[in-house]
Amino acid sequence: MKANNALYLKKNTRAQVGIGTLIIFIAMVLVAAVAAAVLIQTSGTLQQKAQSTGKQATQEVSSNLMVKTIEGVRAKDSATVMSETIDLLKLKVGLNVGSSPVDVNQVVISITDGTTANNLVYAGNTKSYASAGGTDGAMDYFGSTASGNLATLLKNASSSPSVFNNSDHYYTVEKIRDEDSSFSQSNPVMNTGDLITVYIATTSSTAVSTDYDYLGTTTVTSALKTSGLNLVPRTTVNIVLTPESGAATTADFVAPSSYGVKETVQLYP
C-alpha cells in the first residue's frame, strides 16, 4: 500500500530577545553611520581637489603671452651719431585667444646674448629683490608714469638689498590698448584684448662709455647704465617670458648684419 505521508508546518513564535541583541543592532547602525560619514567626507574632499586641479590645469594651458613684435633702439647724440649696439628693446606683448588675466608684476623675463644672461622682474615688484621679509624690492624711484620709470630704468641704480644697475635687474612697461582701464604702473594686470610695450634695457658698456644723450624719446644726458649685454650686429638673442601660471613664451632672433643709419631696427618676427 502507498504510504500516507502528511506535511505539517511547524509554527515557531520564538525570537531573539534581550540586551545582547539590542547592542548588536545599535553597533550595526553606528558602523553604518560612520562608514557613510567617511564616504561623504572623502567624496567631498575629492570633489574639491578635482575642482582645484581642473582650475590650475586650465590656467596652465590658457595663460599665454604673445610677443607680437620686437624693435631695437640705438642710443644717439644726433640723427647721424649713434651707438653701434642695440641699447633698448621694445616688445609689443598681448594675450593669446582665451587666455586668463596675467599679472605682469609676476612675469619674469630672461634674456641672453650668448655671453651674458639677465633675469629681469617688473620694476614695481616689491618682493623679488627685497630684504628678508621686506617689501623694499621695487626699483628705486618707481613711479606712476611709464616714461619716468623708463628713464629711471636706463639711468639709475637701486640700493635694495645691495647696489645694482636697474638695467640688468628690471624691466618696465607701457600700455598701448586697455579698454577696461585695468592696467596701471602699480597694478599691471593684462586682460584679453590688452596690448602693452615691454622695455628691456640692453645698454652696452661701449654705449655707456661714449656718453650718448638720448635713447629713443628718453633724454639720458650721458647717464646710461650698462646692462652687461652687447647686441652688436649678428648677435643671437633669446628671450623667455615666464608668467606666474601658464606656458612660457620664447622669442629668438638674430640681429641684422648691419644697423646702417637706422635708429630703430625691426628684430622680430
| Span 208-230, pLDDT tens digits | 999 999 999 999 999 999 999 99
Residues 50 and 154 grouped into a single domain? no
Question: Using 50, 70 and 90 to split pLDDT, how confident is the model at 8?
Answer: low
Higher pLDDT among residues 194 and 131, named by residue: 194
Question: Using 50, 70 and 90 to split pLDDT, how confident is the model at 96?
Answer: confident
Number of independent structural domains in the chain = 2
Residue reference for cell 647724440: 77
Supply the range of the domain harboring residue 45. Answer: 13-62
Residues 52 and 99 grouped into a single domain? no
Phi, psi of 194 (to 5 degrees): -70, 150
Tell me, yes or no, whether 2 lies in a domain: no
Q: CA–CA separation, 228 vs 21, rounded Å?
A: 86
Tell me, yes or no, whether 3 lies in a domain: no
Q: CA–CA separation, 205 vs 17, rounded Å?
A: 99
Residues 112 and 244 grouped into a single domain? yes
Question: Using 50, 70 and 90 to split pLDDT, how confident is the model at 51?
Answer: low
Q: Calculate mean pLDDT across residues 127-145.
A: 90
- Please measure the distance between the N-terminal and C-terminal CA atoms of the chain and give it in whole angstroms: 113
Those residues with Cβ within 8 angstroms of residue 147's Cβ, 6 or more apart along the chain or in another chain: 174, 217, 218
Residues 44 and 177 grouped into a single domain? no
Take residue 266 and report the three cell numbers written for it.
Answer: 625691426
Q: Calculate mean pLDDT across residues 199-210.
A: 96
Residues 27 and 100 grouped into a single domain? no
DSSP state of 92: E
Residues 40 and 115 grouped into a single domain? no
What's the pLDDT score for residue 15?
58
What's the pLDDT score for residue 10?
65
Tell me, yes or no, whether 118 lies in a domain: yes
Residues 17 and 95 grouped into a single domain? no
Residues 114 and 196 grouped into a single domain? yes
For the chain, what percent of residues have pLDDT higher than 70?
A: 88
Tell me, yes or no, whether 263 lies in a domain: yes
| Strand arrangement of the beta sheet that strand 218-219 belongs to | 75-76, 214-215, 218-219
34 has pLDDT over 90? no
**Global pTM?**
0.79
Those residues with Cβ within 8 angstroms of residue 151's Cβ, 6 or more apart along the chain or in another chain: 218, 219, 220
Residues 167 and 157 grouped into a single domain? yes
